[in-house]
Chains A and B, each alone.
Chain A
Amino acid sequence: MSGTLELRGLTRVHAAGQPPALAGFTLDVPAGSCVAVLGPSGSGKSTVLRLTAGLDSPDGGSVLLDGRDLAGVPPERRGMAMVFQRPLLFPHLSVRDNVAFADRVRGVPRRQARERAEHHLELVALRGYGDRPARALSGGQEQRVALARALAAEPRVLLLDEPFSALDTTLREEMHDLLADLRVRLDPTVLLVTHDPAEADALADTVAVLDGGRLQQAGPMRELYAAPASLAVSRLLGGRTEVPGTVRDGVHSSVLGALAVPRPVPDGPGVLVVRPEAVRVTSPADPAADATGTVVRVRRRGLRALVAVEVPGPGGASVEAELATGEELPAGRTVGLVLPVADRAVVPPVDGTPSDAARSPISHG
Chain B
Amino acid sequence: MSTRQRAVLLVLPALVPVAAVVGAALVSAVLLSLGLTPLVGQPELSLDAWRAAAGDLGTATRLSLGIAAAATVLAAGVGLCLALAATAVVRRSRLLGALAALTIPVPHLVGAAAIGLLLADSGFLPRLLGVAPGDWPSLVGGQWWVAVVAEYAWKESAFVALVVGSVLASRARSYDETAALLGAGRWARFRYVTLPLAAPALGVASAVTFVYTLGSYEVAALLGRPYPEPLPVMAVRLAGSIDLAVRPQAAAVAVTTAVLALAAVLLALRALRRLSAWD
Contact = CB atoms under 8 A, between A and B. Distances in A.
Contacts of A53: 181
A106 B185 CA distance: 9
Nearest to B278: A91
B178 A105 contact: no
B258 to A, nearest CB: 34
A84 interface: yes
B197 A75 contact: no
A86 B174 contact: yes
Interface string A73-108: 011110011101010101111000000011011100
Nearest to A87: B178
B279 interface: yes
Contacts, number: 69
Given A90-B175, A90-B193, A105-B185, A74 B279 contact: no
A103 B231 CA distance: 51
A63 to B, nearest CB: 14
A101 B192 contact: yes
A76 B185 CA distance: 6
B180 interface: yes
Interface in B225-259: none
B268 interface: no
A287 B185 CA distance: 71
Interface residues of B, number: 20
Contact of A84 (B178, B196, B277): B178
Nearest to B181: A82
A55 interface: yes
B177 to A, nearest CB: 6
Contacts of B175: 88, 90
Contacts of A214: none
Given A92-B197, A104-B192, A105-B188, A76 B279 contact: no
A359 interface: no
Nearest to B279: A135
Contact of B182 (A74, A91, A92, A150): A150
Contacts of A76: 180-185
B174 A133 contact: no
A243 B70 CA distance: 78
Contacts of B178: 82, 84, 88, 90
A144 interface: no
A101 B197 contact: no
Given A86-B174, A90-B175, A105 B278 contact: no
Q: Is the interface of A mostly helix, strand, loop or mixed?
A: mixed
A166 interface: no
B278 A135 contact: yes
B179 interface: yes
B183 A84 contact: no
A226 interface: no
A153 interface: yes
Interface in A271-293: none
B196 A92 contact: yes
B181 A75 contact: yes
A77 B186 CA distance: 11
A67 B105 CA distance: 56
Given A92-B196, A92-B277, A133-B277, A106 B183 contact: yes
Given A104-B192, A105-B188, A135-B279, A153 B174 contact: no
A45 interface: no
A133 B277 CA distance: 9
B183 A153 contact: yes
A149 interface: yes
A101 B277 contact: no
Contact of A101 (B184, B199, B279): B184
Nearest to B191: A105
B147 to A, nearest CB: 38
5 contacts: A93-B277, A104-B192, A105-B182, A133-B277, A150-B181
Given A92-B278, A150-B181, 17 more contacts: A76-B181, A76-B183, A80-B181, A81-B181, A81-B182, A90-B192, A91-B278, A101-B179, A101-B184, A102-B183, A104-B192, A105-B182, A105-B183, A105-B185, A105-B192, A149-B182, A153-B183
Interface of B: 174-175, 177-185, 188, 192-193, 196-197, 199, 277-279
Q: Which 10 A-B pairs have the closest CB atoms?
A: A92-B277, A91-B278, A75-B180, A105-B184, A92-B196, A105-B188, A102-B182, A82-B181, A88-B178, A76-B180
